[in-house]
Structure 1
């Protein structure tokens, strides 16, 4: 009797165990559903200091305890925008534990990248599939459900709803999540990221960025080496008005995540804002080397996009240091590049900006007039903003060498790019092209003798630029509009007005070589020797390349020698 009862109990326990196992298997997505996501796979690639040093994120999940370290690595990769590698790390967790809902959230997060370009159609599809699976898995905590719900707000109606609207929905959902779980550090960090992602580039009060920066700075006291906190402080304060607040973070981020190419580059955003050219050069030399290592170790054919992004910042810093030799070397190296992956918006930007910067900042008008669009594997018709830079450069070049008909032809190309962007409802980029269009028109009008109309148009261009924030893809506008206004006023023999324009621009672009030289020249012509001396001295301190042959520095030394 007792033996029969014991056997019956064993059978019941076995049946209950089998039923639980079936329920667990049913809660996980099918192998086919996982295959349809088309996950990036493999071990995360390390470039720089080995042992995958990306900082530490303490993200708690209900997934298997054996996956905790791997999940934290994946989140740390997310926080340094190493999106492909983060997706690989989350995919490895899915392979071991297909019922881990938060691993699918991680894949969807890796395809969102809030502060870069909007997801491509393929990335949008992948993220949508991943977040849909995450929503359907029942085994998750209320907190995990809130994370998944928040990100689903971004992916909902992705093909029909504007990117900015979906970013705002994600921000609002993360605000609610943060309020519900105020002790969850990661919720606060991802909320700060959402605030930056939803920030309006035309908002010069920086409301969202200030809110994010304040929150992150408070968090940094208890987690000084968290990669997301340090990284997003830099993004929050990436503006001339706020940049000084991010300098401590910029100085330490590369050391916190030394295996991340982006962590090597990102501090230079603040170095540029503060005119710290030596720091900017060092940062981007490391970033470019790390990006080349990444391309080699992942089998990328040609070059990785992060390398070209670093080269643009590197070229800009060399030009401000008056190091034409090194700046030109970056351009010459760029001309050897035939293939870049992915061939995206920042690749197109670097390809157009680097040669444009070199010829415009050196006032090489003949070369500017005949500048060619680079021939790497970029579909230029997909990037009207970037292509417009070349036409802007050519227009200024043709105007300065007196070929006005050719300058007008380039203006028509600029107008066409502007119209395309308006049809695409990309107001920010359309505004950037409009600023260049007005600037180029102003110089053409001045060349024709219509000085009053030229100045009105140039003032309008400068005022418009003052109301917008530069895009994170660029260290600076190819030429700042208010600096161009100063150049025009100086040419029209209005040095006092030119000085005001240069000084206003230097508050936004400190230690720009041409801005300092323009201010010094305008002050000298206005009879203000004190200001002229100060700006020339500042120029020689900032543009410190040895053995430079830039005529601006020769003029500065001559002026100061005559005063002595």
Structure 2
């Protein structure tokens, strides 16, 4: 993959105008900052374009209003490191600006990604303490106290409880500040981030989406509104509601790698693979450009995240060549930053997907963690479990029962390490365990036990929402259930399972192929023809070498002679 975008380092001309020249003397730094590790440096961009339009300056000096707004714009596109640097510049220019400390505390929160670690929580609590000690308007005090509720008692209160406290604080600000659009925007994000992962009514997400859509009519270039609409609707049942916004967001904040990537969440939910491929290529280019300036030779997590979605999209169009090209590319990486759960997930998921989507059980059984990348894998049991799940399926299909059972035991250890610490991820691994054990039972000839466990895995998955970081399950449980029903010579039931799967995972290559085969074996040639035609249409631009495509073409040709 080649990248040609040029890096622009924005210096004092852009960021520091009037920060000091408009004052009579250099401001004295707050002594409480001495114990806090703040990010400093020039703002690094890969474009002279914009991050959208935001107007949200509270309490800071008038001369730095535009700088503060830029920081908020970066925050809304999850350009967290650069946002923190700009908020710190505001602090350095105006140490009495309470909202600048609020901004740094917001920049290290990462509400939709993963719970902050102890170091981040301690940093946030110190920043809030400073902000609370400073003179400020009533509105600024409300914002500071809202995020302060998240950082308060972090040693004794769990993450979700504190998320809910923050959400309630933001709701109060929103209800009492209908003339403040930023209150609505941050409240909507809080609704989505605190939503119950098991709530398939999507109550919070629908409320957030409706609120944001009303705002979008008045502020069509606001990055946060567009971004959070996409997150609110990043579910199969809601994705269509976010499509028009997804096609606009990248143009609102063209300088943001994350903004270039985010539309693909909706495209993936709807099976719009070409659009997903194009937007993730743009995102990866921007991310590479940023990494080259930040740390030459290293690779940023935004690039790796975009590649994860790219590989998924290529596989759904049957394009093994491009999927493998991306995998070979990331295997050359020596240094990545930061070594977080997004990177761990992607490095585990990509090779697993390539093997499993192609039903290459030998390859699946031999999957290994990438040796060249230093990732603290022990901190990521869910992400790690993906490889164990893939290996279990590989060994089961090869009839290597003992090896499959060994992998199953590792899966169970991963699950146990997550119980009591992360209920969502523990549940995801439990779904893998049930599916893996089902295929082990099938390999042992225990058909009823196998089918019962596979149906349980499918039921559990249907009751759980997708994690925001993932393009989708490594293999959907409903699709695996369809595969098993075909193995058991139950094509009518298999067809039902595949069709349920395709409602939540439209345009999946194996879902369509499976439905075609199940229909064919059921004697429903009309439906088989329709699904085989869909498969041909799906792969028309990919030069696919998948054997399933040849089977589809042969079936259609035969039907034409009947």
Please give the TM-score of this superposition, normalised by the length of structure 1: 0.93
Match of 1:297 in 2: 293
Partner of 2:121 in structure 1? 124
- Aligned to 1:432, which of 425, 428, 434? 428
Separation of aligned partners in 1, 2:276 and 2:428: 25
Mapped to 2, the partners of 1:31 and 1:229 lie a distance apart of 34
Instruction: Tell me the residue number matched to 2:40.
Output: 41
- Measure how far apart 1:43 and its partner are: 2.2
Q: Describe the shift of the 1:145–1:535 C-alpha distance in structure 2 as closer, same or farther (beyond 3 A).
A: same
Q: How far apart in 1 are the matches of 2:496 and 2:300?
A: 42
Shift of 1:301: 5.5
Larger Rg: 1
Q: Distance in 1 between matches of 2:128 and 2:528?
A: 60
Q: Is the CA contact (8 Å cut-off) linking 1:124 and 1:158 kept in structure 2?
A: yes
The CA distance in 1 between the partners of 2:28 and 2:517, in whole Å, is 69
Alpha-carbon distance between aligned partners in 2 of 1:249 and 1:181, rounded to the nearest angstrom: 25
1:96 matches 2:93: yes
Moved more, 229-238 or 159-168: 159-168
Quote how far apart the aligned CAs of 1:333 are: 1.2
Q: Alpha-carbon deviation of 1:50? A: 1.3
Q: What's the counterpart of residue 469 of structure 1?
A: 465
Tell me what 2:186 maps to: 190
Answer yes or no: is 1:57 the counterpart of 2:73: no
Cα deviation for residue 300 of structure 1 reads 5.8
Partner of 1:221, secondary structure, is helix
- Aligned match of 2:7: none
Aligned partners of 1:546, 1:271: CA distance in 2, in Å? 18
The aligned residue for residue 333 of structure 2 is 337
Structure 1: gaps of 5 or more residues: 1-24
Matched-pair contact (CA < 8 Å) for 1:369–1:394: yes
> In structure 1, what is the Cα distance between the partners aligned to 2:542 and 2:388?
33
Q: Is 1:557 the counterpart of 2:556 in the alignment?
A: no
Change (3 A) 1:29 1:390: farther
Q: In the alignment, does 2:152 pair up with 1:156? A: yes
2-side partners of 1:46 and 1:511: how far apart?
36
Cα gap change, 1:30 to 1:97, in 2 (>3 Å): closer
**Pairwise CA RMSD:** 1.4
Cα drift, residue 30 of structure 1: 5.1
Q: State how 1:153-302 maps to structure 2 within 5 Å.
A: 153-299=149-295, 302=298
Q: Find the counterpart in structure 2 of residue 513 from structure 1.
A: 509
1:315-349 per-position Cα deviation (integer Å, ceiling 9, x unaligned): 00000011100001111112111221110111100
Maintained 8 Å contact 2:132/2:144:
yes
Note the alpha carbon deviations across 1:522-548, whole angstroms, 9 max, x for none: 011111112111111111212334321
How far apart are the structure 2 equivalents of 1:346 and 1:505? 25
SS in 2 for 1:433: helix
Which residue of 2 is the match for residue 13 of structure 1?
none
For 1:171-226, what per-residue CA distance to the aligned partner results, in whole angstroms no more than 9, with x for missing partners? 00000111111111000000001101101111100000000000000001110110
Q: Structure 2: give runs of 5+ residues left out of the alignment.
A: 1-23
Instruction: Tell me the equivalent position of 2:364.
Output: 368
- Say whether residues 1:77 and 2:56 are aligned partners: no
Distance in 1 of aligned mates of 2:296 and 2:193: 29
Shift of 1:399: 1.0
1:215-254 deviation per Cα after TM superposition (whole angstroms, max 9, x unaligned): 0000011101100000000000010111011011100111
**Alignment coverage as a number of residue pairs:** 535
Contact 2:317 2:542 in 1 (8 A): no
- 1:303-452 equivalence runs, <5 A: 303-375=299-371, 376-422=373-419, 424-452=420-448
Q: Note the C-alpha offset of 1:471.
A: 0.6
Runs of 4+ in 1 over 4 A off after TM superposition: none
What is the alpha-carbon distance in structure 1 between the residues aligned to residue 37 and residue 521 of structure 2? 65
> Aligned equivalents of 2:431 and 2:361: distance in 1?
20
Of residues 144, 163, 170, the one that matches 2:140 is 144
**d(CA) in 1 for partners of 2:554 and 2:327?**
30
2:83 aligned residue (83, 86, 95): 86
Contact map agreement 1:322 1:545 (CA 8 A) in 2: no
Is the partner of 1:45 in helix, strand or coil?
strand
Matched residue, 1:482: 478
> CA–CA distance in 2 between the matches of 1:554 and 1:519?
16
